[in-house]
């Protein structure tokens, strides 16, 4: 035969010991693969493989022993039987290996199931499935609560931002109105103060001019009587004038201080300088009056001319004083304007600082909101991870249920057969019941017909009575 060489090579390998060795090698390989794949179908295929290996050894041994039987001169039955013995030993070895593999797999499966039952706390697949569904529902409810909280927080944040923007707008409007009104009021106050100062200076100049003219007239009239009294009166008049001037300037200074507190020091300093200048001017005038008195004592004839010169000098001094007051007013105006500008700049800086701080607060709030969103995202990710793990547990439970269902398929099949038998019995009972129903219907029909016959008999009896009456007549 053409396969005789192959059969001769396989025959010593597939004897009883060879089948055991190959079975052990295949079992080790499958155990290593099972360690990584955890596939029970792989281990369940071992008994079939070992049985097939034993049958293969049997057929190889049979073919090898009967291969050269046609070339033998005489049949040696003992030799043929001796060659057939390894064939049966290989089958026996395959069956023994299959039995051992089946036993070991069942024991291993029971150990794994015990571990799995210990992990799931000896719960049935239905209970595990119920727990998974319950956990899934709780997770879904938690997610719904988180989503609701997120929506509420988003609504609150939006409302807070809207209120914050409205508050910022209102504060900006109020601040702008305050600045505008403050500037207008300062302009009005400044205008009134400037007019009052000009009017006071003008009134003061006219008053001083009138008083000076009166004093000069009196001095001219009394000049010939007493030069010393004239000088004393002049000194007294100048002193009173300086006092009144100081009082007027003090009242003006007080008014300015009441209106603008920040300009008090500058205004007081300027007024003191003006007072010093006026004192210097009046000191010069007094000196001139002293010289004039000496000249009047020496030159009485030139007195009127010198008084005229004194009048002109006083007018020039008054004009210089008016000019000084005007310059002072201008300086005060400039300083007041610069102070107002500085005040407005400071207020703008304060407003800008408040707006920046408010913007910083808004930015911090937005950052905190972003951190809250990040925390919620992480929480949702954790929930999703828990949900995935629950889904994985559910999948494992389903696999366990399928595995147990595989073990209980036979029981289900038997139960189905029992159910089928019960169904057949029920069908037979239904047939019997249908027959009984038909019989009951037939009985009812018979009863109806009997009733009809009874009615017919009654009619015949009535007819017979009528006929008897007719016959008797």
| Ordered DSSP codes for 379-420 | HHHHHHHHHHHHHHHHHHHHHHHHHHHHHTHHHHHHHHHHHH
Mean pLDDT, rounded, of the chain: 68
- Check residue 152 and give its pLDDT: 84
- Check residue 337 and give its pLDDT: 62
Burial 299-334 (b: 16+ CB within 10 A, else e): eeeebeebbeebeeebeebbeebeebbeebbeebee
Q: Is the pTM of this model over 0.75?
A: no
Residues 259 and 193: beta-carbon distance below 8 Å: yes
The two tokens of residue 188 are 């009005």
Q: Which residues of the chain have pLDDT under 50?
A: 1
How big is the chain by its Cα radius of gyration, in Å? 67
CA triplet 145, 146, 149: central angle to 5 degrees? 85
**Tokens 């009144």, residue?**
244
- Check residue 383 and give its pLDDT: 55
The two tokens of residue 432 are 């019997």
* Exposure of 408 in the CB half-sphere (CA atoms within 13 A): 9
**Tokens 């997120």, residue?**
150
Helix axes 77-119, 16-37, angle to 10 degrees: 20
The two tokens of residue 365 are 């709030």
CA triplet 136, 142, 143: central angle to 5 degrees? 90
Cβ neighbours of 154 (radius 10 Å) = 12
Residues 25 and 16: beta-carbon distance below 8 Å: no
**Tokens 């595990």, residue?**
128
- Check residue 205 and give its pLDDT: 63
The two tokens of residue 313 are 């000098």
């Amino acid at each position: 035969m053409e396969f005789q060489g192959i059969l001769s090579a396989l025959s010593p390998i597939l004897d009883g010991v060879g089948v055991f060795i190959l079975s052990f090698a295949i079992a080790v390989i499958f155990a290593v693969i099972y360690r990584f794949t955890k596939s029970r179908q792989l281990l369940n295929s071992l008994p079939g493989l070992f049985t097939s290996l034993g049958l293969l050894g049997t057929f190889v041994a049979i073919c090898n022993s009967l291969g050269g039987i046609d070339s033998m001169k005489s049949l040696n039955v003992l030799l043929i039987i001796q060659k057939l013995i390894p064939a049966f030993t290989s089958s026996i070895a395959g069956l023994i290996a299959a039995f051992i593999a089946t036993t070991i797999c069942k024991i291993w499966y029971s150990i794994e199931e015990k571990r799995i039952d210990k992990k799931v706390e000896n719960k049935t697949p239905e209970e595990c499935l119920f727990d998974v569904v319950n956990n899934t529902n709780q997770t879904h409810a938690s997610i719904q609560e988180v989503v609701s909280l997120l929506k509420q927080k988003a609504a609150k944040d939006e409302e807070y931002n809207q209120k914050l923007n409205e508050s910022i707008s209102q504060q900006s409007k109020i601040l702008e109105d305050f600045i505008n009104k403050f500037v207008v009021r300062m302009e009005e106050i400044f205008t009134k103060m400037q007019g009052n100062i000009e009017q006071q200076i003008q009134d003061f100049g006219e008053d001083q001019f009138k008083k000076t003219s009166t004093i000069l007239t009196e001095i001219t009239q009394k000049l010939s009587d007493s030069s010393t009294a004239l000088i004393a009166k002049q000194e007294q008049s100048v002193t009173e004038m300086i006092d009144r001037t100081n009082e007027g300037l003090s009242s003006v200074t007080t008014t300015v201080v009441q209106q603008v507190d920040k300009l008090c020091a500058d205004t007081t300093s300027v007024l003191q300088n003006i007072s010093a200048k006026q004192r210097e001017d009046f000191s010069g005038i007094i000196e001139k009056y002293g010289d004039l008195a000496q000249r009047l004592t020496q030159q009485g004839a030139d007195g009127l001319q010198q008084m005229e010169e004194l009048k002109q000098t006083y007018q020039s001094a008054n004009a210089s004083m008016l000019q000084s007051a005007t310059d002072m007013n201008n300086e005060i105006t400039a300083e007041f304007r610069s102070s107002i500008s500085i005040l407005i700049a400071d207020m703008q800086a304060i407003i800008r600082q408040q707006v920046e701080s408010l913007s910083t607060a808004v930015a911090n709030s937005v950052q905190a909101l972003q951190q809250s969103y990040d925390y919620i995202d992480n929480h949702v990710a954790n929930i999703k991870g828990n949900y995935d793990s629950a889904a994985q547990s559910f999948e494992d439970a389903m696999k366990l249920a399928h595995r147990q269902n595989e073990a209980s398929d036979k029981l289900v099949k038997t139960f189905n057969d029992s159910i089928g038998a019960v169904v057949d019995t029920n069908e037979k009972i239904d047939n019997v019941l249908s027959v009984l129903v038909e019989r009951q219907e037939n009985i009812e029909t018979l009863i109806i017909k009997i009733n009809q016959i009874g009615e017919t008999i009654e009619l015949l009896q009535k007819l017979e009575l009528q006929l008897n009456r007719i016959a008797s007549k």
